[in-house]
Amino acid sequence: MPHQPRITTILPCTSMTSATQFFIRLGFTAPSDEALKQWDSYLLLSHPNGSDIHLREVSVDEEGWLDPLKNSFGIYVYTPDVEALAVEFADEIIESAKNAEVKEWGMLEFSVNGPDGCLVRVGWSAEDIESKKRAAQGK
């Protein structure tokens, strides 16, 4: 696959296992056994849509890297599967509605606390989702 200019998130985490499981639930591909053996504290996860994320496990003695109670890291996951993922994460959604909502900026989205308190927003254009629903209904 040819490389394209892009930005990729490197997310520090205190548990590679729980962070990996979280992102697999978001649709990222599980790492191979070979990748798990090759990388002790750093792992690349990819998504079928071409997105990727790098996870960096930090140890407790690495001061200044991560305080899960004051985590300022945030990730926005753009996916047309926002409604299905809202069902998957329903018990974890931090907004009071506990489902995906159309925000004033036109995105259907929801937010959850990800690994180590990282804010993870999941969304897609509400107009695009409605347009595809109308097309599927033949309207």
Q: Find the helix or strand (DSSP H, E) in which 96 lies.
A: none
The answer to whether the CB of 85 falls within 8 A of the CB of 26 is yes
CA distance 119 to 134: 32
Tell the residue number behind the tokens 């599927």, with chain if given.
Answer: 136
pTM of the model: 0.83
Q: What is the percentage of the chain residues whose pLDDT exceeds 90? A: 50
With cut-offs at 50, 70 and 90, classify the pLDDT of residue 108. Answer: very high
Give the chain's domains with CATH numbers: 9-60+71-136 (3.10.180.10)
The answer to whether the CB of 58 falls within 8 A of the CB of 65 is yes
Other Cβ atoms within 10 Å of 66 Cβ, number:
23
Q: Find the helix or strand (DSSP H, E) in which 22 lies.
A: helix 16-25
What tokens were used for 91? 């018990």
With cut-offs at 50, 70 and 90, classify the pLDDT of residue 122. Answer: very high
pLDDT tens across 89-98, in order?
Answer: 999 999 988 9
pLDDT tens across 50-103, in order?
Answer: 889 999 988 767 666 666 667 778 899 999 999 999 999 999 999 988 999 999
CA distance 58 to 94: 26
